[in-house]
Structure 1
C-alpha cells in the first residue's frame, strides 16, 4: 500500500525501517555476480542506498532515487560512511520520472522492495510499470525483488500472478523464482507479527519473488 511522503520520512528519521539491514540484499548481489546487471542502472525506491552504493563501488553508472527526502539524506550519509562518495542519489517519484522521460535511459533497473508496495493498487501499479517501460531501453532488463505471499512474512506481500499480469505487452518475463528477502525485526514488525518470537533488531529472512523482465 502506498503511503504519504511524511510516513517514509518518519521511518528514516527514526531509523525504524525493517528493510534497513546495513548491507545489500543477497539476491541483488547474486544478480550482479551472474551478469544480469549491465550498463546504466536505475535503483528506484533506493531507501538506505545499499544497492546503489554496491553497484557504484563495482564501477557501474547508477542512480538511486527515492520519494522520501529523508531516505535520500540517509543514503548519502550511508555512502559517506562506506567511503563511496561517488554514489549518486536524488529525490524522485519513480512514476513521474517515467512520464517525464523523453527517451529510454537505462539498461538495467533494479527494484528491491518497491513494486510490492503497489500490489493492491492496480491503477498505481500499472502507472509504475508504464514508467519502467519508458525508462528502460529496448532489450534492457528490469529486475524485481518483491515480498511473496508464499509463506510467513511481513509487509506488503504479493502473489506471482501480480507480477505475471503486470508485465505483459511490451515485456518478456524471462525468469520468476522464489528466493528470500532479509529484514530486521522492529517494534512495528512485532505489532504486525507478534508471533515471530524474535527480539527487536534480529535479522529475519522472509519469502520473496525475484523476477527478471526484459523490455521489448
Structure 2
C-alpha cells in the first residue's frame, strides 16, 4: 500500500487538460492511486464537506460518488450515517477499507462506475467531491441520470466541482455546465462559489508559485440538487 507522496512519473503529476472533451479513463485513476497520492488526497475530508456535515446537510443513507481513499465516507460513518462509497479504482478502495478499519468504522465500499449505477433507488443523500468535473459534457449528463436512478424521491445531491478559474490545477467546469447536466429530474437549490483544497505538485505548483507538495485552495462550485 502506498505511504503517500508521488514519484516523478506519477500519472497525475499534472492534471489532465481542463478543456478536455472526453472523460478521464478509470484505469488512469487506478494507476494514480497505486503509485502515490493524487492531488485531491489531502488526508482528511474537504473542508466544505465537513462544514456541510456540521450544518446537518446529510441524512439517511449516503452515497459517496467517486469516494477515492474514503475520507468523506469515513468522516460521515463516524458521525453515525450509513454510507456507501463507490469508485472505479480498486487501489483506492483497498486504501479506503484499510483507513476505515483503522478508524474503527464500517462504511461500505463498492467497485462501481458512477456512470452506470444499478437501477435500485436506495440513497437519501449524495456527496460528490471532485468527481463531476472529470467527465466530459455527455458523461456529465449521463452521470446525473445515473444518480437519479439510485436516489429516492426527494433525495439531495451535493456536488463540489472545480471552477473554471484554476485551469493550471485541474479539469474544471462552468456553472452552466453543472446546471445543464442536472436539468432533467432534479430541482436546483443553488450553485454557488466555493473552495476546493488540494496538493500542488509539479508544473501546477510552479505556475501557482508554491512549493511542490504544498496544500492549496482553489475556486470551486458547490451545488445542491433535489430529486423530483
Give the TM-score normalised by structure 1.
0.90
1:195 matched to 2:207? The reply is yes
1:14 matched to 2:35? The reply is yes
RMSD: 1.5
How far does residue 193 in structure 1 lie from its aligned partner after superposition?
5.5
Q: 1:157 aligns with which of 172, 193, 208?
A: 172
Per-residue CA distance 1:137-172 (angstroms, 9 max, x = gap): 111101000000145651111110101111112111
> C-alpha separation between the residues in 2 aligned to 1:11 and 1:74?
12
Q: 2:155 aligns with which of 106, 124, 140?
A: 140
Unaligned stretches of 5+ in structure 1?
Answer: none
> C-alpha separation between the residues in 2 aligned to 1:193 and 1:23?
21
> C-alpha separation between the residues in 1 aligned to 2:24 and 2:88?
10
**Gap change, CA 1:30 and 1:153, over 3 Å in 2:** farther
Q: 1:94 aligns with which of 94, 108, 114?
A: 114
Aligned twin of 2:218: 206
Q: Say which SS state the counterpart of residue 134 (structure 2) adopts.
A: helix
Please give the residue correspondences for 1:61-80 in structure 2 after superposition, counting only pairs within 5 Å: 61-80=82-101
> C-alpha separation between the residues in 1 aligned to 2:192 and 2:175?
9
Aligned twin of 2:131: 114
CA contact (8 A) 1:152 1:207 kept: no
How far does residue 179 in structure 1 lie from its aligned partner after superposition?
1.0
